[in-house]
Amino acid sequence: MASESLKNFSGLETPGYVGFANLPNQVHRKSVKKGFEFTLMVVGESGLGKSTLVNSLFLTDLYPERVIPDAVEKTNQTVKLDASTVEIEERGVKLRLTVVDTPGYGDAIDNTDCFQSIIQYIDDQFERFLRDESGLNRRNIVDNRIHCCFYFISPTGHGLKPLDIEFMKQLHNKVNIVPVIAKADVLTKKEMQRLKDRVMGEIKENGIKIYPLPDCDSDEDEEYKEQMRQLRDAVPFAVCGATALLEVKGRRVRGRLYPWGVVEVENPEHCDFIKLRTMLITHMQDLQEVTQEVHYENYRSERLAKGTPMPKRNASVDSVDSDKALQEKDAELRRMQEMLDQMQRQMSLQKQQGQA
């Protein structure tokens, strides 16, 4: 089952197919059939290829009306958050995907505060969930919490930048961070390995917690275990994005055409795009669970520790209950009043009869 889901992992992917219909376990499949909600955030300096990658990942144009600001505009701009939602359906399986982009990140001259609005956005979604969860209509909550954050690292630096380190440190307790090295095609194989090692070293040195790929169950087949090992070894995923379909040796491939050849986005020999997509698709449920059990719980306990009043659990149920009690009291009072009126009527009747 599990290895079936990863059929295309080592070979070439069929263009036009994302692959979320082939999810690894039955429980997952069930929830996906009902319709699956997932929110992905992409963070990184502008121009690193975030939009291209997201469009290539989900084979859709998430930003049809995107306007790119010029340098002067960028200098004064603060980070904006842009949520775009698409519904993708594959073999009857629906995915409601929201991608939250963070234009303006790292663009200003002074970037000290540039993650504040991102932190605020993540917290706002937790707060909204907390409120909805305490309300009446708990079955129909729309979960807008960020389940995963792709953090884009520049391929041209010599490792992480101070801003990268600061961002990840500030956010690792709030969201599942998956580091990716952008524009993998600009580095040779050797340079890429060096950069990957350096990035992982710096992540460790700085005590940054990135999303930990869960361990395989011992009863999984060897092929699946091997594929998971390969996924783990590929972190930080070095990716290329392209939306163009090109013809290479009679095959239609998604790629970038250079004077010396074509970089095939979905060719595992060229970059980790397929690995990143496989990781995302096969771990969607785990990413949601970690969001619920670790990050959301962190938020709740922080709220408690700060002493900010928490929305009362089932507050509206309580108010409905007290309304009901009041109505019952009213009805009882009305009944007593009626009895009293009846007794008075009887008494005055008896009085009249006595006088007669």
We find the least distance from the C-beta atom of residue 95 to ligand GDP, in angstroms, to be 21
- Classified as helix, coil or strand, 150 is strand
We find the least distance from the C-beta atom of residue 265 to ligand GDP, in angstroms, to be 8
We find the least distance from the C-beta atom of residue 65 to ligand GDP, in angstroms, to be 14
What amino acid is encoded at 58 in this protein? F
We find the least distance from the C-beta atom of residue 257 to ligand GDP, in angstroms, to be 11
Say which DSSP state 166 is in: H
Of the pair 53, 175, the CB lying nearest ligand GDP is at 53
Of the pair 51, 288, the CB lying nearest ligand GDP is at 51
We find the least distance from the C-beta atom of residue 45 to ligand GDP, in angstroms, to be 7
Of the pair 73, 332, the CB lying nearest ligand GDP is at 73
Of the pair 23, 148, the CB lying nearest ligand GDP is at 148
Strands 93-101 and 36-43: parallel
Give the dihedral sign, CA 229/233/237/241: negative
Of the pair 37, 107, the CB lying nearest ligand GDP is at 107
The helix (H) or strand (E) run that includes residue 82 is strand 82-90
Whether 271 and 265 have beta carbons less than 8 Å apart is answered as: yes
Whether 100 and 146 have beta carbons less than 8 Å apart is answered as: yes
Of the pair 114, 290, the CB lying nearest ligand GDP is at 114
We find the least distance from the C-beta atom of residue 304 to ligand GDP, in angstroms, to be 38
- Which residue in the shown chain puts its C-beta closest to ligand GDP? 49
Of the pair 99, 290, the CB lying nearest ligand GDP is at 99
Tokens representing residue 257 in the block = 């055409």
Q: Which residues bind ligand GDP (CB under 6 A)?
A: 46-52, 183, 185-186, 240-241, 256
We find the least distance from the C-beta atom of residue 241 to ligand GDP, in angstroms, to be 4
Helices (H) and strands (E) in the chain, counts: 12, 9
Tokens representing residue 188 in the block = 């040779």
10 Å CB burial of residue 345 (0-12, 13-18, 19+) is exposed
10 Å CB burial of residue 36 (0-12, 13-18, 19+) is buried
- What count of residues does the chain have? 356
